[in-house]
Structure 1
Amino acid sequence: MVSCKPKPVSKTIDKQSARVLSASYRTKSAAKPYVDAGDIDEQKDDYADYYVVVADTGEKYNVLRDKMLDLHQSLNVPIDTMGRTYNKVKDLIALPDNDEDEIFAGDYFQRRNISNTLSLEYLQPYLSSSKNKTIALVAGIYETKMSADSVLKSIAIPNAFTIKAHIYQGCLH
């Protein structure tokens, strides 16, 4: 299990075991840092492959917001903004500056969990080759390709597509 909080650091120094060595430009052996294979496995466990259904993309928040509201009305799919709105001053989809989450207040964070809700997300975290400010009208994140393809068919939008995304699931705080 990976902890989100750092381990306490000992502030005491054992003066008896400390030695002062002279500097040398030659090494007698190569450094062999210890790597715990368990740590590598835990890092791999921090990611999951999910299927993201994208109904549309663009760079204008309000245009995509209107399309999201239309999809909500026509298909009765819930909307979950996760408290984020468009901040015109920052030109950013973000939580309010005064949000209780001090780390993400005033900033964007992506949808990361399985969800069958509509939302507006930046496309780049899901598709690294996309432009930085491209916004995606996401129609859900699904565990299986079959589920994602089913939703893709139901929304019946010509330019809609599915992305297999490698999404970070570890601690953000």
Structure 2
Amino acid sequence: MKTYVVSVNNEEIALNSKEVSELDIVKHSDTEYHILQDNKKYSAKLLHTDYLAKKLTVEVNGNNYTIAIADEYDQMVKQMGLLTASTKKEKNINAPMPGLILDILVTEGQEIKEGEQVLVLSAMKMENIITAPSDGVVKLIEVKKDDAVEKGQLLIEISLG
């Protein structure tokens, strides 16, 4: 049974696929719905959707709610810390998870920009593009193609620009 974490105005609620399928929702138009829950009637209007970010803004009985939906994959990515934004500038690139280096896209001495792709790491049967955390110059590449790496292992050292 699939489990979802639904954030409503930043308050998290866990739902499973059975609970979701048992919701009594009647669609009246592309944006308007009637919902029955515990013998209470709710009028819902879809105000905004962002399917890529899995976010909705809905109006229920005159109140607006921002809803974010996280499926099992999203929850796993969050648990692994891959969504954590860093406010400080990093000068090293460490492996975010154990895996295998598929490709190195930069060379020592190369100037790089924040967000630029620097290497490809295969982990959990997926190719993950690792990007530069800040502007700088590639000082040292600690790994080579086909190396197995552990979580937290230094991959590339960057001199900040």
The TM-score bracket by the shorter chain reads under 0.3
TM-score normalised by L of structure 2 = 0.23
Between Structure 1 and Structure 2, the one with more strand by share is 2
Q: Is the radius of gyration larger for structure 1 or structure 2? A: 1
Between Structure 1 and Structure 2, the one with more helix by share is 1
Indicate the structure whose relative CO is greater, using CA pairs within 8 Å and at least 6 residues apart.
1
